[in-house]
Every structure is written in structure tokens, then in C-alpha cells.
Chain A
């Protein structure tokens, strides 16, 4: 004796947000029922386990039927099959495209290829995000990547319009696409302390300042590729460390400004040349794709780690970088002010964001 068929269809599609989350999280129907039972829904309406099972199955089926539409969210608004109130649609889409920080941290900067997809079970084991959920998130990344790849115009805006996402989520996706495109290395042990949000912030900075789109906003891939000309120009900054006079002058200007303002002054003075070399060398090497990939690891190794071992506070860091950037303007033989500002603006905000435990 068994229920062979059991369906419930409402004119307005009924969706329980809790069950939706369980479905997104990749729970099986039975596990979801268990979670719901523990959550205490049963007491709410004198329900039994059977009722809960039947409800969960129904909802899962509905979500599966909706999934196809969620792949191109614009369709959800003008499809006829499900009558879903607009604010519900927004929630459905937003939740479907939401991701786990733990998961995204693992795939950030990796090529969104079949190869990576095969490794998802390892990632699933490591992050304890279910494989099903990993697949959904990975496919979302890939889908967004594919769609915006061929579009002109600002990246964030494109994502927001095509996938009807909130501004915040669209920015996160832009970061993911940007990282995947430039294949930034994020997986090294030294970078483990950085969260996805740290990277997303840096990506935002890079997109806004270093890409082609920062100067011209009608080119294809404008927000995805770094501005090649700019990268070339960055080589010119080398003068700051190769020219001995300039280096000394720069150091003395910075030291004058910093003296007495921080406890870490001695360390700053001692390390100035090293740190400056580090930053300028990163800039000079960015024409190499390989070095672009290592951008973040370089920042950590060449700048953040030395500072951290000298126990700079975040305020010290801020102070130092501000004066370091500004002092360069006073150097009369240094002619590359514009490039310098474009470079240091991003470096400064990235380092501020990345300088934590």
C-alpha cells in the first residue's frame, strides 16, 4: 500500500522559502524532511511526517520545474507556466544565484572548465557544501561568464540586467568573472587568510581603474581585460627604484612626513627601499600574463608580509601608503604622475582591504 502519485498545484505557485533553501543547499528530500522536522514546522500545523514528506516532494518538484527558467531569469517574468508574484520571483532568482563564500573561494581564479567541474567533489568534501549545490554554483558562474563574455558595456550592469540580480550580487559575479578571466592565483597557502569579499573588493578596484573600460566604455570585454597600454606604461615607473637619487629623495620625503606620527617609524625607514622596490617591481612586471596571475601573491609576499612582521597597524599602513603615493608627486624628475596615481590608487585600496589577519 503506497501513495503512488501525489501532487498539489496552486494557481499561484506556492513556494516555501525554507524548503527552497534546503533544495538549493542540495539536500535530498529525506534529509530535507529531517531538517524541517527538527526545525519544528510539525508543531505549527499539527502536521505529521507524511504530510511533511508530501509537501517537501511537491516543492522539490516545483523547484526542478522552475530551474530551467532560472537559468535565464528574464524568462521567469514572462513565462506563463507558473504564476509567481514579482517579489517572489526576485527572491527565487537572488537565492538561486547566491553562493557559499567557502565554495567560491575555492574556485575563484580557476578556469571555469570541465576540468574544474570534475574536481567539484573534492571541493565539496573540503568545504562541506553538498556536491549538488557545488554544481549549481559552478554552473551559475559558468553561465554568467558565458553570457557576459559576448556583451559590450559595463560588466556589473550587464550581469544585473541579464540575470536580474541585486547590485551587490551582480558585483560579486563581476568579480568572479573577472578573476576567472584573468586567472588570478588565489589558492596559495599565503592567500588563504583572504576572504572572497576581500578579493571581490580588489576586483572592483581593478575593474574600475585598470581595465579598458576605465577609459573607454564601449569596447567588448572592456571590463574583463586589463588595459594593455596602461600595463606598458607601468614599466616607466621603474625609474623610482632604478634611479638612486630619486629613490633617496622619495625616501626622505616620506620619512619627513612620517616622523613622529607612528610607533613603527623606524621599521618604515629601514624597510622603505625594500617595500618600494616590491611595489614598483609588481607594476613593472604586469605585462606578463603569468605575473598578472601572481598579482595578489606578490602583493602579500612583497609588501603585506614584511609589514606584518614589523607589526604595522592598519593605521600605520594607511599613513605610510598615503605619504608614499603623495610624495612621488613632489619629485620633480618623476614625470609619470598619471600612471602612478592610476596604479597606486588601486594598490592602496587593495592593500588596505588585504591587510588583516
Chain B
């Protein structure tokens, strides 16, 4: 229906395309309406690139602006009055952006009254302003101690330090509060700022001794090990000459990729290497405790991409005690079929795996979708569904082997059809 209506709309004849300009917003090449602000900003940007606007800076001859404006500078005029204001009045003035003075709040008690008043009026802007004042006028030990009992103010302070990038003080604060796990994470986060991979690796190594929760400690250890290995693999693969690297040149470096991406990479470029090498799939699997399911899924993706159907087969082959091979999979075979199909596996390969799907509905669905005729025909035969067989026959080429097979079945008088 949708296709039809699309065709209908597209086929409607319009007299003159130029007229469209009248009722349609004028749009520039980037799709921004001409004259819009976003459009204009782009124009400026492109003119900079072309360098056409470069000229000598003018010398400013006008006197600099008088220092007008805000409450701070005005405060000198009213010093007398402002100093007499109560915490309530001061906070009120701060809320309104009027002149105020914090200088008279010198005793710890006064400072805390001021802070509590700011918290009481819910104004985050004023809370932070008071905290900035306290940061400058109290030692950090005292400030930390007082913040411990004031959760709202504390959270404002932590956020302010984060925004100011005062990492060191923040770590000290969290330590003083006994929030060691938060402190460890905060420190770990710093690695995102380090671009150079060796420095990043060394930094991660220094994180290992931080007081993470037990689980997170394992993850951070993994992070360090991963990057360490990636650096080794990258150094050797950058100049690798093996056939596979020529046939499928690497599109990006493996540095800083997730564990699973690294496993995929290793299944792609280093399949079959012995467990002793860092780049081998088995080594990565073991080092990072990758589940069987996850391993099979990743290896399947990589080997199917390379169309190594033999490798795909051996992933699922298991031998029983009599020595017979049998296919077994920790992921549903319908998923396996999906992945094989996405990598354009030939019908013979697909057919084998469609046959392994447990669920009869999924199996028939897969067989229909991927045109595994034999499976479709056998399934209908087993269901004794004559009507479906007739319908399916019509979809096949006349005199093809499948067509003839259906024909034979339909002529078989021994089958007791249900319809």
C-alpha cells in the first residue's frame, strides 16, 4: 500500500516546479533555511576557511567601558548597610542579584547559618555562591567536616568542583567523607583525558591499587590487561605481512576497542594461533573469562565474514564417546542461520543449519525465508499438508528437481493427507 501511494504522490503532475519556491521555505544546500541563524553561522565558518575575511585588526580608539553593573562593585557604596544584614536578608539579596556582602560572616556559626539559609530557599545558584565563599574562607578540613552533615550542600560542592576540574581537591573530599569507591571511580575517570596509549596504560596500572569494589577491581584489572595486550598486538600488526592483512586491510587500529571487538579482530586475523600468543582467540577468551556462548557468537561472526565455512562447521562439531560428530550450539541455531545468511552463506551451508533448528515453526520459517526447498517439502510431507505442498509447488520452477519431488509425493497413494 505504501509503495503504491508513494508512486501515486510522485506521479502527480505539477505544472511548474519553479512555483514551489513561493510556498516552500528557501533552503540552502545544507537544508538550513536561508537567512536562518544556523545557516548564517555556517556561512561565517566557511568564509573563515577561505580566508577572505582576514584583515588587519583595527586599533581601538574608544575608551574602555566603565566598570558598570553588577552587585559586587556596587557593594562598596553600601558597605555600611550590607554588613548589618542577617543571613536571611543576605540570601534574599543574592537571589535577586542585588548587592550583598559576605565579609561580615566570619565566625563558623555565621558561615553555616548563611549556608543553611541558602539551602532552605532551594536556590542552587546561591548555595554554590556561599560554598565558593566558604571554600575561600575556611580550611578544607573544617569545610569537609561541616559538609558531611549537609547532604544538599555537599552535592552542590562536589558538582562545582567537578565543573571547575578541581580533581585533586575532589578526590581529597571523597576520601575525607569515606566514600572510597566513588573516589576510586573519580580517579579512574581521568584515563579518558589521556590520549597517548602508553601513558594511558601506565595510568590504568596505577589505578589497580585503588579501593574499588571487588567486582570493579576485576574490571579495571581487565582494562589494564586489555590495553597492554592491544598495544602489543597493534605494534606487530601495523607492519604485518601475512596474506590475510593484504586481502583484508585493517580499517582502524585495535587500540581502546572493547574486549569483544578485540576477540572478533583476533578471530578474523589471528585464528588458529596457539594459546601461547597474546593475539590468539583462545588466549583472549581465557584471559577475559569469555563465556562459551559469547565466544561462539563472535567467532562465528568473524569466520562467516571470511566465508570460512569449514571453520564455522568445526565451531559446532562435538564428538561423543563413540567418536561420532554431532552439532551442538549454546546459541539457538535460528540465530546461527541468521548470522550465516547475513554473511551470504550458500544454500547448502544454510540448509544444514536450518535443519538443526529445534523449534519446528522457526525451522519452517527459516526454510521458507532462505529457500531451503528440501526442508520445506519434507516438513509439509511430515505434516501431511497436501494443500501447502500444492501452493509451494507453484512457486518453483517447472521440472526442477524440487518440483518433481513434490509431484512424486502428491502422486504417492500411500500417504494419508490431512487435506
Bind each other: no
Spell out A's residues near B (CB within 8 Å): none
